[in-house]
């Protein structure tokens, strides 16, 4: 009896908050969109055997660059400003990802290390730009200058799909891209090579694949999708960039949670779609739970952790069942070898 709340109400709130009403369901999809975009990027990099945990930083840089561009062309029509911003956002994230890729391929710097560091560097870059170069001119004159950009022109708003909810075009973009990435990975030579590099860098090298190039490429694409997630949040949801000094204030930790969604989806872009919705629902429902029952937010965080551990822990049964179905071999994507070192040699 530590917290004064009715448990039935709590679970009702969690479910209702995620799926109960039209608005709740729309919010779940809005939350799922960046998770899916980051997640499909993660599918590419993890398939190439590269662990990209730099989604947060890539989202931030993508959003910054896309926003900066949109601020430059306030009078452009929607047909110009939206695609252009999205592309620039993608490029921003791609650059940030490719940086980690190049460090890994050509300087042997482990990508877990570099992406963790690059996340922080992205945060400080964001704080600097939002406090100086990109600051809203209205804020620059106030004593309590809030580090945020001006609102982007209305033309830059992603079209809303399901009035009056916030559901925006981003969710369609994400789903379409998930399908395209699926085709890329399993229906093209490029995709085949990416996966080959992930399965065995050495065999790939003997087969004449330029492993280093594919390491960079996979991080570039992975970062690009995270950057797209970032700029989509700006164009679809916040309509400006704003910082509270951390990355998660802007990203909602989608750069991390997208990894979880991708792994839930078995590193398959199509599988990442329901996984993102599930995880988005959990996040949205949890906030609703706090509002309805006034449990401390810490309780909600703990709950999410437990659910996550339980789901990932229970995979063993799914896996056992899968193994009984012996037939499935080729299309059942077992996680690739985490052979992260390009020049891997068996150590003593």
Partner 1 sequence: MIGDLFTASVLIGIAGSGIRLATPYLYAALGETFGQRSGVFNLGVEGVMLMGAFSAYWATYESGNNLLIGILVALFVGVLMGLLTAFINVTLKAEQGISGIGIFMFGLGLSELLYQIAFKGERIPIKAFSRINIPLLSDIPVVGEIFFRQNLLVYVAFALVPVAWFVINRTTFGLKIRAVGQNPEAADAMGINVTRIRYATVTLGGMLAAVAGASLSIAQLNVFQQNMTAGQGFIAVALVYFGSWRPFGVMAGALLFSTVNALQLWVRTRGIDIPAEYASMAPYLLTILALVFASRRVDQPAALGKVFERGG
Partner 2 sequence: MNKRLLLSLILVVVLAVPVFSVSAQDDEPFKVAVVMPSTVNDLAFSQSMYDSLLAVQEEMGGEEAFQFVYSENMFVIDDAATAIRDYASQGYNLVIAHGSQYGSSLQEIAPDFPDTAFAWGTTVDTFVDQGIDNIFAYEARAEEGGYVNGVIAAMLSESGTIGVVGPIETGDAKLYVDGFKAGVLSVNPDADVLVNYIQSFSDLSLAAAAAETMLDEGADVLTGTAQMVPGAIGKAQEAGALWFGTQADQTSLAPDVVVANQVYDWTVVLDEMIAKIQEGQMGGEAFAITLENGGELITFNEDYELPEDVLAAAEDAIDQIASGAITFSVDEEGMLNVEMGEPMMEGTAEATEAAS
Which of partner 2, partner 1, none does residue 237 bind to, with CB < 5 to 8 Å depending on kind? partner 2
Which residue of 11, 309, 318, 332 would you call a contact of partner 1, by CB under 8 A?
309
* DSSP assignment letter at 345: -
Is residue 254 within 8 A of residue 117, CB to CB? The reply is no
In angstroms, the CA 301 to CA 198 distance is: 33
Q: Which is nearer to partner 1, 143 or 316 (CB)?
A: 316
**Residues 26-65, buried b or exposed e (16+ Cβ, 10 A)?**
bbbbbbbbbbbbbbbbbbbbbbbbbbbbbbbbbbbbbbbb
Point out which residues pair with 242 in neighbouring strands: 148
State the nearest-atom distance from the C-beta of 96 to partner 1, in Å: 13
Contact 54, 260 (CB under 8 A): no
Chain residues 129-158 in contact with partner 1, contact rule CB under 8 A: 131-132
Contact (CB, 8 A) for 194 and 50: no
Question: Which is closer to partner 2, CB of 5 or CB of 51?
Answer: 5
Tell me the per-residue interface mask from 264 to 303 with partner 2, x by CB under 8 A, - otherwise: ----------xx--x----xx--xx-xx--x-xxxx---x
Query: Taking CB within 5 to 8 Å according to partner kind, which of partner 2, partner 1, none is near residue 117?
Result: partner 1
Q: How many residues does the chain have?
A: 348
Q: Does 287 bind partner 1 (CB under 8 A)?
A: no
Q: Return the residues of window 96-115 that contact partner 1 according to CB under 8 A.
A: 103, 107-110, 112-114
At its nearest, how many Å lie between partner 2 and the CB of residue 187?
25
Alpha-carbon torsion (319, 283, 258, 100), positive or negative: negative
Q: Please tell me the distance from the alpha carbon of residue 278 to that of residue 280, in angstroms, as a whole number.
A: 5
Closest contact distance (angstroms) between CB of 309 and partner 2 is 9
Residues 13-52 that bind partner 2 (CB under 8 A): 23, 27
248 interface partner picked from partner 1, partner 2, none, CB below 5 to 8 A per type = partner 2
| Separation CA 242–CA 255 (nearest Å) | 17
Q: Which of 49, 91, 74 is nearest to 221 (CA)?
A: 91
* Shortest separation between residue 93's beta carbon and partner 1, angstroms: 18
Contact assessment for residue 194 and residue 211, using Cβ atoms and an 8 Å cutoff: no
Work out whether the CA dihedral 103, 201, 62, 119 comes out positive or negative.
negative
What's the CA gap between 323 and 332, in Å, rounded?
A: 10
Q: Give me the 120-159 binding string for partner 2, x by CB under 8 A, dash otherwise.
A: ----x--x---x--------xxxxxxxxx--x--------
Check: CB of residue 46 under 8 Å from CB of residue 54. Answer: no
The DSSP call for residue 203 is: H
Least CB distance to partner 1 at residue 109 (A): 5
Contact characters 216-255, partner 1, x per CB under 8 A? ----------------------------------------
Residue from 82, 98, 228, 263 in contact with partner 1 (CB under 8 A): 263
Q: Measured from the CB atom, is 148 or 218 closer to partner 2?
A: 148
Q: Which tokens in the block code for residue 25?
A: 């369901």
Contacts of 35 (CB under 8 A, 6+ apart): 254, 257, 258, 261, 276, 279, 280
| Contact footprint for partner 1 (CB under 8 A) | 2, 51, 53, 103, 107-110, 112-114, 116-118, 120-121, 124-125, 127-128, 131-132, 256-257, 259-260, 263-264, 296, 298-306, 308-309, 312-316, 319, 335, 337-341, 343-348
| Contact footprint for partner 2 (CB under 8 A) | 1-7, 10-11, 23, 27, 124, 127, 131, 140-148, 151, 164, 233, 237-240, 242-246, 248-250, 252-253, 274-275, 278, 283-284, 287-288, 290-291, 294, 296-299, 303, 306-307, 310-311, 314-315, 318
């Amino acid at each position: 009896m530590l917290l004064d709340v009715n448990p039935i109400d709590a679970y009702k709130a969690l479910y209702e908050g995620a799926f109960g009403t039209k608005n709740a369901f729309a919010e779940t999809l809005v939350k799922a969109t960046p998770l899916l975009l980051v997640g499909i990027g993660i599918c590419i990099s993890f398939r190439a055997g590269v662990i990209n945990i730099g989604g947060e930083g890539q989202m931030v840089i993508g959003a910054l660059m896309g926003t900066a561009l949109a601020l430059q062309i306030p009078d452009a029509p929607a047909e110009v400003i939206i695609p252009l911003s999205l592309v620039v956002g993608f490029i921003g994230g791609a650059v940030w990802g490719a940086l980690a890729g190049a460090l890994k391929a050509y300087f042997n710097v482990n990508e877990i290390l570099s992406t963790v560091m690059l996340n922080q560097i992205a945060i400080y870059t964001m704080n600097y730009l939002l406090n100086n170069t990109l600051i809203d001119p209205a804020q620059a004159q106030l004593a309590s200058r809030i580090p945020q950009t001006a609102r982007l022109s209305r033309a830059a708003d992603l079209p809303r799909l399901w009035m009056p909810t916030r559901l925006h075009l981003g969710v369609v973009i994400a789903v379409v891209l998930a399908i395209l990435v699926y085709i890329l990975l399993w229906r093209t030579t490029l995709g085949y090579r990416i996966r080959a590099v992930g399965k065995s860098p050495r065999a790939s090298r003997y087969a004449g694949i330029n492993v280093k190039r594919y390491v960079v490429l996979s991080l570039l694409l992975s970062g690009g999708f995270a950057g797209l997630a970032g700029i989509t949040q700006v164009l679809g949801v916040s309509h400006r960039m704003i910082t509270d000094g951390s990355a998660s204030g802007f990203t909602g930790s989608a750069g991390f949670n997208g990894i979880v969604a991708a792994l839930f989806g078995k590193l398959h872009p199509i599988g990442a779609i329901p996984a993102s919705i599930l995880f988005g629902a959990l996040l949205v429902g949890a906030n609703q739970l706090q509002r309805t029952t006034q449990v401390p937010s810490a309780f909600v965080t703990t709950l999410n952790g437990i659910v996550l551990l339980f789901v990932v822990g229970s995979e063993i049964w799914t896996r056992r069942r899968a193994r009984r179905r012996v037939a499935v071999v080729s299309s059942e994507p077992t996680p690739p070898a985490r052979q992260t070192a390009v020049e891997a040699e068996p150590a003593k």
